[in-house]
Amino acid sequence: MSSPKSPLAPTALPNLPEIAGVIRRVARAGYKAWERSDLTFVELAPGTTVAGVLTQSKCPSPEVEWCRKALVLGQARALVVNAGNSNAFTGDRGRTAVEAIAARTAQHLGCAPSDVYVASTGVIGVPLPVDKAEAGLDAAFASAPVGWVDAAETIMTTDTFAKVATQRAVVGGRTVELVGVIKGSGMIAPDMATMLGFIFTNAAVDPAFLQRALAAANTKTFSCITVDSDTSTSDTVLAFATGAAGNPPLAGDEDEGADAFVSALSALCMELALLVVRDGEGATKLIEVTVEGAESDRSAHRIAMSIANSPLVKTAIAGEDANWGRVVMAVGKAGEPAERDKLSIRFGATQVAEHGLAVTGYDEAPVTAHLKGSEIAIGVDLGLGEGRATVWTCDLTHGYISINADYRS
């Protein structure tokens, strides 16, 4: 929390509408020695539907396992988010803590424990203290409602700014609102979505349709970002639909407004995903990597991620060095079809290599100017097929090392 705000942070926050059926409260449970709130409790109206995408890590937290089981039911009455302790790799003690949080919240609301969704973020390997969790919940239950930004700040760990976004759509003749809050700065390499993100809408949406829409949005957004190639044990993105807008419930692609809702949800996820990259630990540059001409979209995605995850590429960008040879290296190591003599590379709008060779006499001046900016574009054309993908990452600086060397202190 002592790190200065990322230079890539937005200059202003959007105007965030209230979502009927969503009440946010925060409290200080004291999971770490922070002089701030670290527990968020969100009460959701009866009838709220839910969908989610969760980490594919083989070492998931008890919270992830709890949410995975609860999502099958498709209903939600509450969300509890703890910051400062991920409760991951904590065995039965971790599971007991999640069960206690769900039980206490369910008792407060008069609902089933399975209607309570729990997420935690922070240090791995330390069991979440049940006494602090329960005391924090009791304090949250009795506290006054807070705004979206307060909730977003409460779920932060190494984040340097609160991350929020909003979209709207017309569904069944009604204007529906969507608001998202997210946290994430390090341990960002999507194997679905690498952070904690929560989306709220007043639209009425069938849980199965909401799940399909969120999964599709995730594929092109959260699963296309990376900061450091490390996938978290706790990654959770949940979408809650209260139905308060009064539209006919969306259940299929042919329903009136379904396309508009899906587009708004995708746009919201894209905004949230890029906010995470903009707050990458130690980041000074946002990097967009586009790969085209691959044998398939999947192949293009894997090559793009190989480039985006390369420490050599990321440090070259940090140093504003147009070292396109490192891009060649990252393409070659991806394990996907590529032919050296068909490969072309550009930085910004400038072609630097084409058909396996440096462009004869290319002027490095515009490339140097491009690399001095805060938003960098790298383009690769494999010349093999129609596959295409775009991913986003950030540069790798000394700041990343400093933040992670001191993370537990």
Which residues sit in the known binding site for substrate?
A: 157, 183, 194, 281, 404, 409
Half-sphere exposure of 60 (CA within 13 A, CB side): 20
**Is 219 designated active site?**
no
Phi and psi (nearest 5°) for 12? -150, 155
What is the signed CA dihedral for 181, 186, 187, 189, rounded to 10 degrees? 70
Helices and strands, counts by H and E, the chain: 11, 15
Structure tokens at 88: 């991951």
Measuring CA to CA, which residue among 289, 293, 295, 285 is closest to residue 390?
289
Altogether, the residues listed in the chain come to a count of 409
Residues 6+ apart with CB under 8 A from 372: 320
Looking only at the bridges linking them, the beta strands covering 78-85 and 39-44 are: antiparallel
The one catalytic residue among 48, 49, 194, 350:
194
Q: How far is CA 294 from CA 147, 297, 308, 339, in A?
A: 45, 7, 16, 10
DSSP characters for 142-171? TSPP--HHHHHHHT-SS-SS-EEEEEEEEE
Axis-axis angle for helices 311-318, 297-308 (nearest 10): 60
Residue 83 contacts residue 33 (beta carbons within 8 Å): no
Which residues have C-beta within 8 Å of that of residue 18, sequence separation ≥ 6?
none
Residues serving a catalytic function are 194
